[in-house]
Structure 1
């Protein structure tokens, strides 16, 4: 008879101060339409089957079975599924932490592959699903502990650090205000409007927004309006006064002043430059078509 005894040393480390918000299982089908969205918390997304792409910050990254996607708070993203091999995944919402990389500060999204031979992460995701589906006694506590084990296993790889988020309430408020401005930028908006919409003290909003985003809420609103006005200047013949009104500016002069400050050009200069570029591209395309038609052999 052999007996191995492993004594556990006392540790000063405490439990991770994280909270599991939800566990969800999803499968793409024909009536599923992906839309851009963001969370005020971190999300882990584990691909259990299928293929597709993960879209964020104007990037599309291919994803497949056994990929683990880490999405930090307030990152706009969506998923697109392959029609022939639909995506299936398990997602976890986690409050109280964000991931950072030793090599890259400000990490938004990162991708890991749960190697076929190990599938170390898959086990914990599947156990979490089993617990929430069975809802046996103390399943919430079991899920919370499974989450902590999963995170500790990930940290062992030395690929990531876990950082406590400064305040989930602040993050949630800022995410709401940003989305509100994107949806209502054509309307007459000021700091009081935003504070009322978010049920936030306007001085607290101004301070926390600038601290989190780097610019004031009104400057962020102006940038949204300028971005929209660029599209209208490039693609329509609307008078500049109309574009100023459509994009929510109080006057044409304020629009012109704001546009020049942000782009270093007047709206007219921007339209003229981009109009010429568009016309040149169109003429070049027509010439190419004309040459191609001339080279086509005549049929006997």
Structure 2
């Protein structure tokens, strides 16, 4: 099933789920994995999407689908719609650029399930009905991407309603994210052993505890990077990174550019 209009496209398919050609689209592309694992190849390595997770490709991001399990759910949103939505939400300091990272968010998942079920039940409906639904759905998703998608416009990790013990841990990490947390210390906050805690955290958020903490540090560093003259080294160390090398590596992995390049593109102290 494919629905498209001037603002984007929605695709649900159960065939041709194996390797496809390289793509570099001019739109934002959100891919959701409803049933199993998907994998994509990029210029800096492969990235996986586990069941219930989503991934956002920025415009002109080179990628190739390697496989998807059972079903592919994809939404393309034109840059003009996402930018207009950002303007309406007061996000005007920087053009949205999302981290290349797959993780779980319950609101994104609920939206996907609703849209998928609606279209399945109304597959024979008239084009006017489906087009009107698509128009509203793309606007809804644009809002949710900006609220729940980690990226250049964020100064915090997108809020997620999770189990209380996971919320306790993420709140503790936020309060002292520059500290040198160990897995054992995180597990103590959750009142679980470290193996139970690591499994539950990954199951709830789609990220390991340490990956979540490193991404949170990166997002918190962005404001200083864009609005101060602090060196990249100072910015890294002041936000919990042990070295500028680890900061640069994570930045390159998330944004396909170094902090210096990110500052030059998005910052105001150019």
Q: Same fold (TM over 0.5)?
A: no
Instruction: Give the shorter-chain TM-score range.
Output: 0.3 to 0.5
Structure scoring higher RCO (CA < 8 A, sep ≥ 6) equals 2
Bigger Rg, which one: 1
- When the two structures are superposed, what TM-score results if normalisation uses the length of structure 1? 0.38
| TM-score, normalization by structure 2 | 0.41
